[in-house]
Amino acid sequence: MIGESASRKLFLRCNNIFLIILGFTMLIPFLHVIAGSFSSGNALINGSVTIFPVDFTFMNFEAVLNDVAIWRSFGVSIYVTVVGTAINLLLTSLMAYGLSRPNIKGKSLILLLVLFSMIFQAPLIPSYLVVKELGMLNTLWSIMIPNAISAFNLIIMVSFFRSIPKDLIDSAKIDGCGEYRTWWSIVLPLSLPSISTIGLFYAVGHWNGYFQALIYIRDSQLFPLQVKLRKLLVDSDAEMMMQSVNITLSSIEGIKMASIVIATVPILIVYPFIQKYFEKGAMLGSIKE
């Protein structure tokens, strides 16, 4: 028994060491991008930047932040993320609450259709025609409305709502609460872990959203940050930024790396504030009684 305990401890230590090394290995590319964003153009050209900045400078960030289009795209992404996530959570929770109630007729068929839509997604051309007929082309609604409800997130939330004790909901109705009041005052407060987790999934999806904006939006004033980032990485926008800074202290690669950091860091800042809910909510609703 003692030998088994010692061998298990040895296994756990080796496993922890392996996971730590693996985690640092996965961080190396991101650390290299951060280091390059703070390094001079000559250091990047010479290939002397690893995971630590060389010839430390803020010129790359200065070039990016002096671009008005970056700030405009940043604002668009924040608006789409906040408003889009609010719409997602509102519609998903309302539909999930209705489908979680035992007295709803036809809910099995609705859930089957939801599952069908998750497996067989609508083709691009019909989706484009629907968005066009609804008058949402070249508007931010085209990014937020078509995917307002995720089938995967809906099924998770339905499972979680079903785990809420039926007696609690019945007690609320006895006290005079209607369906909407019960959903708002009873179900949602008890569902914060699940809502926070699903909200994070929605928010990350909106922040990293790229393809829909590329398809539905033509006005450069409405480009979100990820589309603007593509123009920096693929097109010649980075070369235009270099005109306002010292060319020896910045480079096209450095400006691209600074743009990646600016586009990535904001969504990383959100995670610590909901981590306590995320760890609990990631598995909630996965067990059906």
> For residue range 179-220, what is the model confidence (pLDDT) as tens digits?
888 888 888 888 888 888 888 889 888 988 888 888 898 888
DSSP secondary structure letters along 191-223: THHHHHHHHHHHHHHHHT--HHHHHH---GGG-
pLDDT tens per residue, range 213-235: 888 988 888 888 888 887 777 76
What is the pTM assigned to this prediction?
Answer: 0.78
Q: Which of 36, 59, 45, 64 is nearest to 246 (CA)?
A: 59
Contacts of 243-246 with CB under 8 Å at 24 or more apart are: 244/62, 244/63, 244/66, 245/59, 245/60, 245/62, 245/63, 245/66, 246/59
Q: Please determine, for residue 58, whether its predicted confidence score (pLDDT) is greater than 70.
A: yes
Per-residue pLDDT band at 87 (split at 50, 70, 90): very high
pLDDT in tens, 122-177: 788 888 899 889 888 889 999 999 888 888 888 888 888 888 888 888 888 887 88
* Domain range list for the chain: 2-60, 67-246+268-281
What's at 246, amino acid-wise? N
Domain made up of 67-246+268-281: CATH architecture: Orthogonal Bundle (1.10)
159 Cβ partners below 8 Å, 6+ apart? 285, 286, 288
